[in-house]
């Protein structure tokens, strides 16, 4: 199994390095990752300036590695089209320091790399731990689980256009409750713009805020992780609101 | 009706200016738009640096206007939370110079602004014309149609979490075939990375490529616009692959 690893925290992230090590036990691992942190990039791609890729060494377990001055989606595109000698069988993105749950998956660079995988017809996994700090609580469990999921996908296959979004709770591995297969919850933010004044009295703004989970059903990814479960959500992008199409046609806008 | 207008081509774009004029006939229009082109941004948000907003004048038809050094999604967030005196009833993004069809909607800054609208609970429209050039072929028809769709949404309402993605073909208005309510087609790219060498012999890469539409059913947005129709697609983000959840649970990864 040929595995492409990427992330949005940048190629120097411990989360990526440990992931590469663990996955090298189940496949041949290549890395194409951003040269610096690119979080919150959503599904951004770089079209208005050229991209540079630099081959680097010293990533234990990787057969090939490149850092790229682009987004996570750029990394997957360039890896598959230009940089790698062989097309990967699987894209694994992470391990991200911080959860990617609920509506936030739309903003997530970690998840967007996996989305780019499925757009290119390659099954994909995104892996995140709830620990935002540099403590990496749960990382060992995350990478070991990623390797087992990769193996399972290799044996069983994923449905077309589907990725798995994996999130681990903020707990020591032995206190995690096990795995729950979830759906994407609805996450909103409260007071998420902070206004400040610069030394000259002019305003500037930070996007921030407290997560408010509106969908707290027991099957939601947000609830599961809060309750101490490891959440795995199968995600695909069904974009057309089919049920509404007929009604919209009857609006007769013309 | 209070309308927020934004785009990804930047606040100086003719597409935005004409849209504001047309919408001011059906509502009270405010503008919060990027200070420069931000296309291909997907659903990026800016979290690692502060944002600056500058109030500007001279946009005919707008009651208030700000330019922001951020992404289209940032513009909608800041507009609703901080900049505007009243919460908008509708977000309209565009008019984009270039189509946003098929899988490309995931990369589109124009559509992402509309997505941010529905994440914030506000109905939204994204409007694009196929004309990439500065010729703005079809712009008059696009803004007139945007005003009529805005009025229809005001009267009838959209289903929750739904936006309308409107695309006009590359034709003079009188040669367009009328409106078709479509679904999102599947668009891929062929040879989409171009490798060049800099004057010192080192490689660099441009993301580019020729669109290949895999889903050419008569109902697809890609096909409709090619055939000369105006395409309107109702879009919502259903992310969970529900049918696959049970099977995945039976994988027993633990």
- Tell me the domain boundaries of chain A: 2-184+218-249
Which chain A positions have a beta carbon within 8 Å of B41's beta carbon?
42, 44
* DSSP class per residue in chain A: -EEEEE-SS-TT-HHHHHHHHHHTTTSEEEEEEESS--TT-TT----SS-B-EEE----TTEEEEEEESS-HHHHHHHIIIII-SS--SEEEEEEEES---GGGGGT-HHHHHHHHHHHTT--EEEEEES--STT-TTHHHHHHHHHHHHHHHHHH---TT-EEEEEE-SS-GGG---EEE-B---EEEES-EEEEE-TTS-EEEEE--EEEES---TTBHHHHHHTTPEEEEEEEEEEE-HHHHHHHHTT---
Query: Within the 104-123 window of chain B, which residues sit less than 8 Å (CB to CB) from chain A?
Result: 105-107, 112, 115, 119
User: Using one digit for the tens of pLDDT, what is the confidence trace for B37-61?
Assistant: 877 777 788 888 899 999 999 899 9
Position B38 scores a pLDDT of 76
Which chain B positions have a beta carbon within 8 Å of A238's beta carbon?
238
In the predicted model, is pLDDT for residue B73 greater than 90? Answer: yes
Could you tell me the pLDDT band of residue B252, with boundaries at 50, 70 and 90?
confident
Of A46-50, B73-77, B162-166, where does mean pLDDT reach its minimum?
Answer: A46-50
Of B27-41, B52-66, B170-184, B221-235, where does mean pLDDT reach its minimum?
Answer: B27-41
The model carries a pTM of 0.92
In the predicted model, is pLDDT for residue B179 greater than 80? Answer: yes
Could you tell me the pLDDT band of residue B21, with boundaries at 50, 70 and 90?
very high
Query: Within the 82-101 window of chain A, which residues sit less than 8 Å (CB to CB) from chain B?
Result: 82
> Which residues, given as ranges, of chain A have pLDDT below 50?
none
Position A186 scores a pLDDT of 87
In the predicted model, is pLDDT for residue B68 greater than 90? Answer: yes
Across the interface, whether the CB atoms of A248 and B232 are under 8 A apart is answered yes
In the predicted model, is pLDDT for residue B194 greater than 90? Answer: no
Position B42 scores a pLDDT of 73
Q: Hey, what CATH class is B2-184+217-249 in?
A: alpha beta
* DSSP class per residue in B44-71: ----SS-B-EEE----TTEEEEEEESS-
Chain A touched by B228 (CB under 8 Å):
no
Position B66 scores a pLDDT of 97
Which chain B positions have a beta carbon within 8 Å of A249's beta carbon?
181
Query: Within the 143-172 window of chain A, which residues sit less than 8 Å (CB to CB) from chain B?
Result: 145, 148-149, 152, 156, 158-159, 162, 164
Q: Which fold has domain A2-184+218-249?
A: Stationary-phase Survival Protein Sure Homolog; Chain: A, (3.40.1210)
Mean pLDDT calculated for residue range B72-77: 94
Position A174 scores a pLDDT of 94
**Cis bond upstream, residue A95 (ω within 30):** yes
Mean pLDDT calculated for residue range B228-252: 94
């Amino acid at each position: 199994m040929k595995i492409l690893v990427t992330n949005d925290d940048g190629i120097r992230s411990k989360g990526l390095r440990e992931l590469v090590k663990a996955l090298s036990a189940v496949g041949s691992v290549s890395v194409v990752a951003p040269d610096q942190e690119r979080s919150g990039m959503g599904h951004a791609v770089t079209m208005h300036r050229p991209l540079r890729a630099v081959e680097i060494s010293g990533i234990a377990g990787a057969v090939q590695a490149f850092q790229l001055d682009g987004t996570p989606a750029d990394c997957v595109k360039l890896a598959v089209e230009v940089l790698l000698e062989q097309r990967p069988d699987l894209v694994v993105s992470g391990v991200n320091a911080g959860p990617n749950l609920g509506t936030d998956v739309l903003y997530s660079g970690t998840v967007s790399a996996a989305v780019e995988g499925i757009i290119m017809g390659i099954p994909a996994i995104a892996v995140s731990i709830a620990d935002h700090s540099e403590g990496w609580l749960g990382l060992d469990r995350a990478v070991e689980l990623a390797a087992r999921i990769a193996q399972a996908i290799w044996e069983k296959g994923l449905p077309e256009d589907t990725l798995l979004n994996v999130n681990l709770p903020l707990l020591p591995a032995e206190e995690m409750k096990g795995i729950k297969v979830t759906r994407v919850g609805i996450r909103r933010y409260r007071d998420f713009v902070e206004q400040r004044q610069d030394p000259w009295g002019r305003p500037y703004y930070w996007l921030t805020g407290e997560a408010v989970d509106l969908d707290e059903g027991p099957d939601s990814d947000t609830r599961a992780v809060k309750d101490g479960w490891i959440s795995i959500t199968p995600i695909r992008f069904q974009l057309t609101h089919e049920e509404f199409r007929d009604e919209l046609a009857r609006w007769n806008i013309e």
